[in-house]
Structure formats: C-alpha cells, structure tokens
Structure 1
C-alpha cells in the first residue's frame, strides 16, 4: 500500500480546511449574545434577547444596535452602536446566561447546580453505544420545584448526549414558534408538532420538572427554550400542579412499578410530598434534597425514620458560598482574584508598571445551602436505623464493680 506523502511545513490538508472545528462561531438568527459596550469608565454588559433581523438591541447611554448588523458576524467582532461606541460580540456561558436573565424566583446559582448534577454521577451512553432493548423505558429524572430553571438547564445538559439528535428544521421551529394563547405550550404547525411528538417518543433520557406556580414554570420554559437556540429544550417535560397528582397518575399507568431513576426535591417541606416520590423511585436511585437550612434536612430525617421509609442517608454536604464582583461573570464557586499590571496612581511619567495580585472583594454573596443525598432501597430490605455513638465519662463505683 502506498503511503501518502507528508505535507510540507506550513501547508494544510484540503480535508482539514473543509472540516475546521474551532471556537469560532458565526452569529445566527435566534442566537443570544452577551454584548460588551465600551463605557466612560468601565464597560457595560448586555444580554440580548434572541436575535431577529427586524429587531433592535437597546444598550446603555441611550444607544442601540440593529440585530441585522449582528447576524452573520463572528464572535469577538467589533461593531459600532448608534452613538459610535464599540460593541464586542460574546457568546454567554450557561452561568452568565442564568445570572443575567430576568427571574421570578430565586435561582439555584450555577456553581451550586453544577455540584448537585455531579452528585448524581450521570454517565449515560450515547444512542447505539450499548446493546439495549428498543422497548426499554427511558432514563427518567424528576425535579420538584422548577423555580427559575437554573438546575433544570444544568440537568438537561447532562442528559443531552443520551438522546438522538434533533433535525435542524425541528430545532428552528422550536426557536421561532409562538406560545399558545390559552394553553401552556408552543403553537407549532401540524407537521412540526408531529415531528416533535415523534422525537419525544424516541428519547432515551427525560427530565421531568414540576412547579405549582404557572408563572415560574412559564418563565423557566422560556429561559431554557432561548438558550443556544433550544439546544436542551427537547430533553425536558414541563408540568404544572402537585407532586401527588402527577406521580400518582404515572404510578397507576405503570401498575405501581417505580419508573424514576433519580429525583430532586427543592421544596420548603419536602417530607410532606416525599411519599409518592419515594414510591416512584427505582431501587438504588438517588433522592437529593436542596435546603437553605440544615434543620430542614434534620426534619426530613426524623420523618423518614418515624415513617420507616425505604431510603437511607448517604451524605449531607454544605455548599460553598461564592462572591461576584460585577454581576457579570460567575466564579464557579471558587475565589476570584484580581491580577493585572498597572502604573500606580500619582506616579511620575517614567514610572515602571507594577503587578497587582489580590483577591477580589465581591459586592454580593450568592449561593450556599445544604444538599442531602439519599438512596432508595427495596422496601423489604430497608436498612435499620444507624446506632448513635455517644462518649461517656461516668465513673464506676465499687458497688457497681461487685455486681455480676
């Protein structure tokens, strides 16, 4: 076999030129951008709505920019706004997108959401990587307390690769469709609705998120649909109502067989709604509680022991508190530092620059709380209560020594 002749230095293969994968990205319609506008003393950041050719993006200082001037550009391109200030195009990360979006409920901040997702240890294969029954039920996760949709979006990203890809046409329809006037859902054409229903039936991983407040659920629905042009939206099923109504109906459909792989409760009094969740949870499935107070986790444990629930505590951890300095970038839970090279104020004209390296002082504290991880056991093999070890320092009297 004749081997290909090596390329001369500096020359690229035509195949590499035609398939060049990099961080470069051309801005498309329905994209959401994070714009950095040149300011008087410091830059001003603005998270756009999904770009439409006929829309206009309003910025600070009374300036604006046409969305048509942004569509077709590349990231990090510089365009002038209506006042002549430079505007740099950035793609928002998931954390930046969440903390800069409008909210009707307190979010689970991105660094906390990442921790919760990592505790689930999700390692799902892509379609076709393992021999499995085509009629096998999907991998289902239940989240009670949609709220803003921050944790929902992080969970959907972790499940995304386990599902078959959507077609570009369907994804574009999900981006551009209007909401129904008198119902909760998208106003899709019959063809698009049929394609969407067919895709939903083929999913191998599904996230069910439920909230009692319709406003919260609708806002989270919009938040997730607009991120990266509905990239993770098809993985999620939104529900409005009570936990008992939804899970009781599902258990009836499955003849009482559990169907949830994992469950997450972000509720004030989780034990009041936990019975149907535990019944629907498969053995070895994880139940995660997210609480702002450690006493709430203690109340759940007391209820669990009192009612002899087939779950057992595995870990209780405290989430780290993070600080943000400008409300623009999320630190991911770590401590952010200020590292720069500057000329000291008031120094002479020929002064040499000096390095500044110090922790940043945040203007607000975000995140924190407690997470409990419980595991579901078989009802007949429910573990007994763990013994409490106490240290005693009582002295033994001579009379006690003589007793048998």
Structure 2
C-alpha cells in the first residue's frame, strides 16, 4: 500500500475498530508516519498488525511517537520487517516501551535485530511491567545479545513467554531464559491465588522475599513444607507441620509452575548435599523438558507461518505471472495483427509498384518506337530532299 491516499482511506474506514490490520501491505517508513498519526488520534485501537511490510528505523521512530501518546494498544505485531537494520529504530521503540502500561504482546520476529538492538531490549525489559509475550525469533542477537537480553529478564517479573528460535543466543542462555520464564510463571500463579498457603508462605518467608516478590529473581526458592498443601493449614502454634510419607502423599501439584516453584524451594531448604543436588537435578531436568517443548511448539508455529507466507507469496507470484503472460499474449496478438496489416499493405504497394513498372515500361517502349519512327521519317525526308537536288 505505497499509495498514501489508499492508506488514508483504509485508516479512515477502521477509525472505530479495535483491530487495525495492515499486514503485507508494502507500507514504507513514509506510510508509517500516517499510521502513527492514526494511533495518536484513535482511542479505540487495541491490536496493531504491521507484519510483512518494509518498516525500517525511520518508520520505527515515527511509530514510537504514536505509541507514546496512545493509551489503548494491547498487541503490537511487527514481524517480517527491518526495524533492527539500524539500531536507532530499536532504541526509539524500546525507549517508548519502557514506560508503556498497556501493551502485553510484542512480536519482533525476523527484524534484523543484532546485539546492539538486544541491549536496548534488555534495558526495556528491566523497566517494563506489562509485556507478557515477546517474540524475537529469527533475528541475529548472537551470544552477546542473548546475555544482554538475559540481564534484562533477570530484573523482569512479567514476561511469561520469550521466543528466541533461530536467534543464535546459545544453548546455555536459552536454558537460563527458560528458567527465568518458569520463575515468572510460578510467581504469576501464586499472585493469581492470593489465598493459597504457598503464596502466604512465599510472601512471609524472608529468604523468598530476598529473591523478589514471589521469587522474582534467578535462583532456587525455599522448601515448601509438605503440610502447606492442605486446604486450611492452622497456625504453627496450634498445629505443627506434618512430616513424613503422609505429608508427601497429601501434596498434589496443580500445574507445572507450582511444581517448579516447590522444587526450587525444596532444593534451597534441603540440608543434605545429596538431597539438594537431587532436587536441583530434577528442577534442571524440568527446565530442559520445558525448553524442548517450547522449541518444538515454536518450530511448528514458525513452520506454519513460513508455509502460510510461502503459500501467499506463491499465489501472489502465480497471479502476477498469469497477468504478465496475459499481457504478453495480448502484446503478441497486437504484433501479429500489425504484421498481418503490414504484409497486406506491403502486398498492395507491391501490386501498385508492379503496375507502375508495367505502365512505365509500356510508356518507354512507346517512346522508343515513336522516336524510331520519327528518326525514320526524318531520314526519308532527307533522302527525298537529296534526290530532288540531283
């Protein structure tokens, strides 16, 4: 949609819609200026889809100006652009996201983001408190970029999903990122159930508090006493904590996040080194399994996206080729028609020329005969005159 008037008409038609989709519309940085104005003036838009365009640094800076003023946007899809080609684009976008309080989903897949852009992302994650899903797959973050991003995640407690497939951040960094995300999910699960005994203990335990609200920093948590899983645990002075096999039998984790946090707490509380190592190995094994699951899931999603994009591109190319073939056939037909007309015109002119040649030849012959006749008559007159004198 390089045509600005057409873009303006599309924006005007979606002025009261919560979703603005401009995917694969060939929008350049110039068009993003108009989209930014739309964001500044529109209090309704919640979902902005700009995937598959030609947005670069200037466009990202213009878009950041619109996001800075907008207070309704929830989801920002910018995948398949080139925002990271110049770090200034990522810097502008990350600066505005630091203080944004509404956006929860950000998709920056395949945006040529390098280690410098990753540094800006890490700084943004340190300050941002609303983004829960961040997709950075198929960028060129590299090892340094992965570490910069990891540093930001260490100080972030809201990101629950951070996709890094194909970004070359390294296996160890991926493992640490997965652990931090699991920490945030466990924290979110406990925050969502404020009346649970586990949440109360995590909030009251000074060791857990030192790690941040509901275990908000990397590392392992405290042991979760087995008896805390009972529906209503009495105060410590009224009923002592149960121990032994019966207490373990009463504990049934509700989800993987709860299980992970309990293992973290168990590992930190164990006194025996072999027990501590055992729980640590279990927690790390769960981390690896979750990481592999996330990779497979993201790989499937990326594969579907690539297939969709390839199919869309193939159909577009096929339509374009059909149109070009049709135009070529029409041009060929015009050439054939012009050739036939030229041949007919040439044949007519040839006939006319032959007629002129025949006429000219006849006239020449008549002229020669006339000249010969005149010469013969003149000779006879001379002979007659000569005979008269003699």
- Shorter-chain TM-score range: under 0.3
Larger radius of gyration: 2
Decide which structure has greater strand share: 1
Decide which structure has greater helix share: 2
